[in-house]
Amino acid sequence: MILGAGISGLMAAHDLRRHGFQVTVLDKGNRAGGRLATRPFEGAIFDYGAQYFTVRHERFASYQRAWETKGIIRLWDRDRYIGQAGMNSIATHLCQGLDLRCGTKVRQIFESAGVWNLETDFDEVLHADAVISTCPVPQTLAMLDRKLPELEAITYDRCLALMAILSEAPDLPEPGYKQIDDGGPVTWIADNRRKGISPSSHNLTIHASAQFSLNHWERNAEDIAPMLLNGYQATAWKLHRWKYAKPTVQHNTSFYEVDSKKPLLLAGDAFGGARVEGAALSGLFAAERLRELLS
């Protein structure tokens, strides 16, 4: 059983299934992908989570080359890759053939009768011989029937993400994005039209800084939007709140193995690194370790 259908969980599931294991993936969201998030809004398409990925590790590069050959991804700028139809294209590809159950929230994970038991919000209890949890670490710790004090120090930055449709083309440098590190409220602006995923309108994804997001987290969206637009004239907009956007305190291993009778591993960007590649590799390394334990 794998908890979380972000890049880490999907890569783990893909690896295990390729090696002949039966895998079920559970995710509390309505769609797989986690922060590989693409959505329509008012006729436009937005990448509103991870904006791109880079490749440094050869093991991940083998996936990048295969995805590029299949037309799943393409190069955007220099070493930055994006999904052909948005970042969620990668998740959609990895989901093919998986037993994926979205909209399923796990309340509790406990070990009993020689198996892991996962109690869901539907008051059902699912059973598994092994579990990989790729949920944000605080969520996993809240579900577990035991304390893992060595993981309690892991923390995350938040991010407020604004999706805005504009009345005219925004003034952004080529190839249509701006990264800002001036300590202000905004750290990232991207034009989804020039990115090539939303041809029908001018629209921006705007990411707030971690400090701004923390300071304004509880405020109404109507108060936040004008501060992030900062002069851009929007005809429509929508705000998304990423509570676990980026790990700020990480663990020093690529995954974490719980001391238990049946295998339970934790993986994700808090172990592999804050980038898409780090999360993906964490899932792969956790799957590799699980294969060793089960064989």
Question: Which residues of the chain register pLDDT less than 50?
Answer: none
d(CA 29, CA 12): 18
0.75 surpassed by pTM:
yes
Q: Which residues contact 209 (CB under 8 A, 6 or more apart)?
A: 183, 184, 185, 186, 187
Whose CA is closest to 213, among 189, 249, 186, 193? 186
- Strand boundaries in 174-291, DSSP class E: 177-179, 186-191, 203-208, 234-249, 256-257, 264-266
d(CA 68, CA 159): 29
| Cβ burial 223-244 (10 Å sphere, 16+ → b, else e) | ebbebbbeebebeebbbbebeb
pLDDT of residue 260: 93
pLDDT of residue 201: 84
The two tokens of residue 196 are 């090539």
Task: Give the distance from CA 266 to its chain's centroid.
Answer: 15
Do residues 283 and 268 lie in contact, with contact meaning Cβ atoms separated by under 8 Å? yes
Q: Which residues contact 20 (CB under 8 A, 6 or more apart)?
A: none
pLDDT of residue 272: 81
Q: Which residues contact 237 (CB under 8 A, 6 or more apart)?
A: 162, 163, 164, 165, 225, 229
Burial class, 222, CB count within 10 angstroms (exposed 0-12 / middle 13-18 / buried 19+): exposed
pLDDT of residue 200: 80
d(CA 188, CA 191): 10
Give SS3 for 158.
strand
